[in-house]
Each structure stands twice: as C-alpha cells, then as structure tokens.
Amino acid sequence: MPDIEPALRELVRVRAAGLCEYCRISERFTLAEHEIDRVIALKHGGQTVDGNLALCCAVCNRYKGSDIASIDPESGQLTPLFHPRVDRWDDHYRVRNGEIVALTAPGRLTVRLLRMNSAMRVRERQLMEDRLKDLKTLNAPETQSSSASYHPPAPLRAAPWAVTLCWSARQSQSA
Ligand SMILES: [Zn+2]
C-alpha cells in the first residue's frame, strides 16, 4: 500500500483537530495515536488525496477496514457508510450522555459496523466530556476559588487506568 506523504498526514490531522472523524474521540484521550483512513479503500478505487482521507481512531479503523457500505436493517437496502469528506457529522449524529445517536441510515450502519456504542467506548466518551467540563471550569476565572493555589480537576470517576494514564502523559507533554 503506498505511503501517505507527511504533509498530507499533517493536513488531515490538523483539519480534524485531533478528533476521530467517525466517533469523535479526541486523540488526547486515546492510548494509541489516531490513524489516517482512506474513506474509499484503494481496492475500491479510492485515491490517496485529501478528499479521500480522514483522521480515524485505531478502534474505528480496525472495525471499518476497507468497508464502504452495509445493509441497513430497517430498509434492507445496501447503503454507503458515513463519509467524513462528503457528509456533515451533525447531519447524521447526536451525542447523548456519551452514546452516539444515529439520525440517518448511513449513520446507523456506521455506528453498528464500527461498534461506536460499545460499553467501553460510551464510557470513554463520557469521561472525555467530564474532563472537558473540568478543564473549562478550571480555566474560567469567575469560577476560580479565592485561593491562588492550583486546584487539580476532580478525579475521573472510575477511570480506566489507560485513559487516565494517557491523558496525564499527554498533558505533561504539552505542558
Ligand atoms: Zn473513532
């Protein structure tokens, strides 16, 4: 498989702001680095151009493989998967308490095929939301306590060690 040029990789990474373009998990909250996905795989005629590339977490990428379509259980029709370069995420999905709610047939198929709502992944998304809320609170001057000393964010609730470890490591890298 031809390699993807570093400049093209960087473009995809920056364009996605570090989020998986399927399940929206941030790279800051995953143990493995996000990968570059060819939305339409080479074997289906897809090309290595920015319009066919998406940032993809390792879990989504593993389940997606080279698939481009699946059978919609509601209509019985062969239906293309969600395409991050053609489709708008917000048109196909909502997030409710960490769970991804599909609004369309392509959204539905992609959630199922990529197992986006497995218990572990929903929990991971909830932890990410909690952590982002903590960071917002920490950074909002009007909510700071009167003490000038540093107060760490509230501990993650029942955090899997991997998420905690990964988040801490990335925080200290970027500090
Ligand atoms: Zn993902």
Note whether residue 37 is domain-resident.
yes
Residue 152 lies in a domain: no
pLDDT digits (tens, 9 = 90+) for 10-21: 999 999 999 999
Q: Is the per-residue pLDDT at 105 higher than 90?
A: yes
**Which domain covers residue 21, as residue numbers?**
6-119
Whole-prediction pTM = 0.77
On whether residue 101 sits in a domain, the answer given is yes
What is the predicted pLDDT for the residue at 162? Answer: 42
**What spatial distance separates the first Cα and last Cα of the chain, rounded to whole Å?**
37
Domain count, the chain: 1
Ligand 1 center–CA 105 separation, angstroms: 18
Using the mean position of ligand 1's atoms as its centre, give its distance from the Cα of residue 151 in Å: 32
Angle between helices 161-174 and 119-139 (to 10 degrees): 40
173 in any annotated domain? no
Q: How far is the CA of 24 from the centre of ligand 1 (A)?
A: 6
CA of 154 to the centre of ligand 1 (A): 26
- Residue 173 has a pLDDT of 52
**CA 82 to centroid of ligand 1, rounded, Å:** 12
- Contact 111/70 with Cβ under 8 angstroms? no
**Does residue 165 form part of some domain?**
no
CA angle 15, 21, 23 (to 5 degrees): 150
Residue 94 alpha carbon to ligand 1 centre in Å: 15
The neighbour count for residue 34, using CB atoms within 10 Å, is 23
Q: What share of the chain in percent tops pLDDT 90?
A: 67
**Which residue did the predictor score with more confidence, 147 or 117?**
117
Residue 135 Cα, ligand 1 centroid: separation in angstroms?
22
Span from the CA of 22 to the centroid of ligand 1 (angstroms)? 5
Give the per-residue pLDDT at 142. 57
* More confident of the two residues 174 and 106: 106
Residue 172 resides in a domain: no
For residue 169, being part of any structural domain is answered with no
Identify the residue with better confidence: 53 or 153: 53
Say how many Å lie between the CA of residue 23 and the centre of ligand 1: 4
**In the prediction, which pLDDT does 159 show?**
40
